[in-house]
């Protein structure tokens, strides 16, 4: 079966492509390589990479021909980037998503799996966060991802396409590189391996729900393969840990002293985040199996191999 993965050269996309390749799907990756890497696809021999932008609807239409499923991950990712350039964020995440939906509709695609984000919730009003939690994003990125979701679910209601929106919490794992827009695990792990100090913003008691990319990739495949399913589902680990305990775990794994600096809390950063994943468990048999410690051991090994450069 032929499938399209937008953003398939990126961190999460490439992990989905790997699974699809193992399951003998015919995979087309559509990616402009703005934050993705061709090397992420090295393990997958016969996939086709189309270098293109989701804002280019002609190229996208052509790439979507004969595809039955679209995994849509291409995006301007992260709150910080969106604050720096909110217009581009909307062009890619809102209009680009509409282009993906339109080319899916015109080409008779049966299923779309949209990568959404817990950023759509904004400051949590209660924990754990379920799918009924109010959606009050407090960054242009959160707004654009929410708008993408709304468009997706609208298409599933008015056209004959099933659409599943997966709201990821903090994803980490293989193929996630250190970048200045900052996910905490690659930043801390990279600095610790280089014997450099790390900075914790605030008191370190803030919590996050870290979910391994392998579990996220599996959730995508299960959502795609579940006949007739549409809707929105939280994808996290279902447990949260403090940033302080994350650092202690990493210190243990890397087995080096850690030099920690504390800086004032950063405006706009939420205090606590923990997902309620019961709906995904019920409807897509989602069952995150990777414990944080084991996931970190594997990730740090990958970084040590120089692959995170
Ligand atoms: N990493 C996380 O913790 C996290 C959390 C919540 C949601 N998400 C969502 O998951 C998806 C993948 O994120 P990621 O962490 O793998 O980031 P990533 O930056 O590694 O992946 C994004 C991919 O999209 C490509 N891309 C960007 N703009 C494009 C465009 N205009 N046209 C074509 N390709 C384009 C990039 O080159 C990259 O390969 C995104 O939709 C993101 O919003 C990620």
Which H helix or E strand runs over 200? strand 198-201
Report whether 188 contacts 299 (CB < 8 A): no
CA of 183 to the centre of ligand 1 (A): 13
Please name the residue that has the structure tokens 């099933």.
Answer: 162
Q: What is the pLDDT along the chain (309 residues), one digit of tens a residue?
A: 999 999 999 999 999 999 999 999 999 999 999 999 999 999 998 899 999 999 999 999 999 999 999 999 999 998 889 999 999 999 999 999 999 999 999 999 999 999 999 999 999 999 999 999 999 999 999 999 999 999 999 999 999 899 999 999 999 999 999 876 678 999 999 999 999 999 999 999 999 999 999 999 999 999 999 999 999 999 999 999 999 999 999 999 999 888 999 999 987 789 999 999 999 999 999 999 999 999 999 999 999 987 665
Q: Is the CB of 13 under 6 A from ligand 1?
A: yes
Residues labelled catalytic: 141
For the four alpha carbons of 105, 108, 111 and 115, in that order, the dihedral sign comes to negative
* Structure confidence at residue 180 (pLDDT): 64
| pTM reported for the whole predicted model | 0.97
Q: What's the rounded Cα separation, in Å, for the pair 89 and 141?
A: 7
Q: Residue 178 has what pLDDT?
A: 87
Catalogue all structural domains in the chain, each as residue range(s) with its CATH number.
2-171+211-236+274-288 (3.40.50.720)
Q: In this structure, is the dihedral angle defined by the CA atoms of residues 55, 8, 284 and 104, taken in order, positive or negative?
A: positive
Angle between helices 57-64 and 96-106 (to 10 degrees): 40
How far is residue 147 CA from its own chain's centroid? Answer: 16
Q: What is the pLDDT of residue 307?
A: 62
Q: Which atom of ligand 1 is least distant from the CA of 175?
A: 20
Torsion of CA 309, 268, 149, 135, to 10 degrees: 150
The CB of 186 under 6 Å from ligand 1? The reply is: no
pLDDT at 267: 77
Q: Closest ligand 1 atom, CA of 116? A: 7
Between the CA of 73 and the centroid of ligand 1 the distance, in Å, is: 5
For 48, 83, 117, 142, the CA distances from 121, given in Å and listed in that order, are 35, 17, 8, 8
For residue 181, how many other CB atoms are within 10 A of its CB? 13
Mutate to test the pocket of ligand 1, among 9, 35, 96, 137 (most ligand atoms within 8 A of CB): 35
Taking the C-alpha atoms of residue 241 and residue 247, their distance in angstroms, rounded to an integer, is: 10
């Amino acid at each position: 079966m032929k499938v399209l993965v937008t953003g398939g050269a990126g961190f999460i996309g490439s992990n989905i492509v790997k699974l699809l390749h193992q399951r003998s799907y015919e995979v087309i990756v559509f990616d402009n390589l703005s934050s993705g890497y061709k090397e992420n696809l090295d393990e997958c021999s016969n996939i086709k990479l189309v270098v293109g932008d989701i804002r280019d609807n002609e190229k996208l239409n052509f790439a979507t021909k004969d595809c039955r499923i679209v995994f849509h991950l291409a995006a301007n990712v992260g709150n910080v980037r969106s604050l720096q350039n909110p217009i581009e964020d909307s062009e890619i995440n809102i209009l680009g998503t509409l282009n993906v939906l339109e080319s899916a509709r015109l080409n008779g695609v049966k299923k779309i799996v949209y990568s959404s984000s817990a950023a759509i919730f904004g400051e949590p009003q209660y924990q754990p966060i379920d799918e009924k939690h109010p959606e009050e994003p407090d960054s242009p990125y959160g707004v654009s991802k929410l708008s993408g979701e709304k468009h997706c679910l609208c298409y599933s209601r008015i056209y004959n396409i099933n659409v599943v929106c997966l709201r990821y919490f903090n994803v980490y794992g293989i193929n996630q590189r250190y970048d200045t827009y900052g996910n905490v695990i690659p930043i801390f792990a990279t600095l610790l391996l280089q014997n450099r100090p790390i900075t914790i913003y605030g008191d370190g008691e803030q919590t996050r729900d870290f979910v391994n990319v392998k579990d996220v990739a599996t959730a995508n495949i299960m959502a795609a393969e579940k006949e007739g399913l549409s809707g929105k589902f939280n994808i996290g680990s279902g447990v949260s840990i403090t940033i302080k305990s994350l650092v202690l775990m990493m210190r243990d794994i890397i087995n080096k002293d850690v030099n920690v600096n504390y800086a004032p809390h950063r405006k706009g950063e939420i205090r606590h985040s923990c997902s309620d994943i019961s709906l995904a468990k019920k409807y897509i048999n989602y069952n995150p199996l990777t414990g944080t410690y084991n996931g970190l051991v594997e990730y740090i090994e990958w970084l040590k191999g120089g692959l995170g450069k």
